[in-house]
Structure 1
Amino acid sequence: MTASGERPNRAARRRWVILSNVPVPEAHLIGLGIAACLRRGHPWTLPGPRSAHRLVGLPLIAAGVCHIARSVRAARRVHLADPDRLVMTGPYAAGRNPMYVGWALLHVGAAVAGGSGWALASFLPVAACMHGEVLREERALTDAFGEEYRRYRATVPRYLPRPGHRAAR
């Protein structure tokens, strides 16, 4: 019910569920924010022409956005903060953490497209932090889903598909 006593329409509820399922990548935002501050005081530009930075960085950004969008779509019926079932379709059939991969692609793509050495250097500590978060989530999913999650974990890689891995469609 809304404040006026009306029920929100189904499309509005669905949009809210979808938007609430996009985790805010705090570590990436903090890393890029620190990099931006460092760049102001001590510029560190990547070598090469700006056009080359964009030629490499913009496709990485596009790939990250697409990967995140496909992940959100695959998880649209599950509240990721408190899941009632596992998501094992779409990008989740090829890797268990596709949103994290998407955010990583966005981070690296933004760093390269912007030509920022600081932003690129911030990726490694951010990735280490995110990996710790993934490990915590895996423990929680094992506790919540037991053998079902163990089987999924045994057959689907954590981040990137294995060579020759065929994801179920």
Structure 2
Amino acid sequence: MNMSVENAGQILWVLGIVAWYVIRFPFERRARRTRVVVNRRSLTDRIGLGAALAGMAVVPGIYVATGFPKAGDHAASAWGVALGAFLFFAGVWLFRRTHKELGKNWSISLEIREKHKLISGGPYSLIRHPMYTSFFMLALGQALLLANWIVGLAGLAGFATLFFLRVDKEERMMTDTFGEEYRQYMDRTKRIIPYIY
């Protein structure tokens, strides 16, 4: 049986999403055991997380499972799937690195945990929010792996909603917690793209 380029892109997307979940699951379990001392969860935080989940998991998952919505379908290209796979799996790799660096400091929401430390090593030495960078790479990869304009834009819209609703609040929370140490860290790093932004 010959596998089409479109099917290859869908299979790679599914494998990447499974890898993403396998990486996240143990950190979610461990995070529940570390006491939260500052909780800045809000409605906008939930909206951002919901938009990211919808755009980067639910909408593409429905598309891969059912082919809906067909209206946005376009021809898949081998180079697009290859580039999409590279971006997607590089994003998965960065996602894993950020979790390993954060360890017990990791949280799905805007929270400071007991004995929280400012992490500035690994990917955090160049950018303050490498997890958002990984989401951006996943969204770009999704747009190339799945041959549907609507599904591709859903991932980018989900990422953008999460990022723009949360990043300023997250940086305020970190400044409130770490003060001058975080301000100096901000001076020597970029937000999500090394040396650029």
Q: Which amino acid aligns with 2:139?
A: H
Q: Which residue is 2:72 aligned to?
A: 44
Q: Which residue is 2:38 aligned to?
A: none
Q: Which residue is 1:56 aligned to?
A: 83
How much does 1:114 deviate? 1.1
* Contact 2:52 2:162 (C-alpha < 8 Å) held by counterparts: no
1:102 aligns with one of 134, 153, 170: 134
2:98 aligns with one of 54, 71, 84: 71
Q: What's the Cα RMSD here? A: 2.7
Q: Which amino acid aligns with 2:166?
A: E
**Deviation per residue, 1:91-133 (Å, 9 max, x gap):** 0111000011101111221221111211222214631432221
Q: Distance in 1 between matches of 2:93 and 2:159?
A: 21
How much does 1:134 deviate? 1.0
Higher relative contact order (Cα pairs below 8 Å, separated by 6+ residues): 2
Structure 1 length normalisation: TM-score?
0.73
2:54 aligns with one of 30, 35, 56: 30
Identity %: 25
2:162 aligns with one of 112, 129, 154: 129
How much does 1:60 deviate? 0.7
Q: Secondary structure at the match of 1:82?
A: strand
Question: What count of residue pairs does the alignment treat as equivalent?
Answer: 146
Structure 2 length normalisation: TM-score?
0.63
Q: Which residue is 2:181 aligned to?
A: 148
* Contact 1:53 1:114 (C-alpha < 8 Å) held by counterparts: no
Going from structure 1 to structure 2, the CA distance change for 1:51 and 1:20 (only over 3 Å counts) comes to: farther
| Higher share in helix | 2
Q: Does 1:111 align with 2:143?
A: yes
* Contact 1:18 1:76 (C-alpha < 8 Å) held by counterparts: no
Going from structure 1 to structure 2, the CA distance change for 1:56 and 1:45 (only over 3 Å counts) comes to: farther
Runs of at least 5 residues in structure 1 that lack an aligned partner in the other structure: 1-14, 164-169
Going from structure 1 to structure 2, the CA distance change for 1:136 and 1:108 (only over 3 Å counts) comes to: same
How much does 1:20 deviate? 4.7
**Deviation per residue, 1:27-74 (Å, 9 max, x gap):** 32212434666861442124x544233112100111101111111111
Runs of at least 5 residues in structure 2 that lack an aligned partner in the other structure: 1-24, 32-48
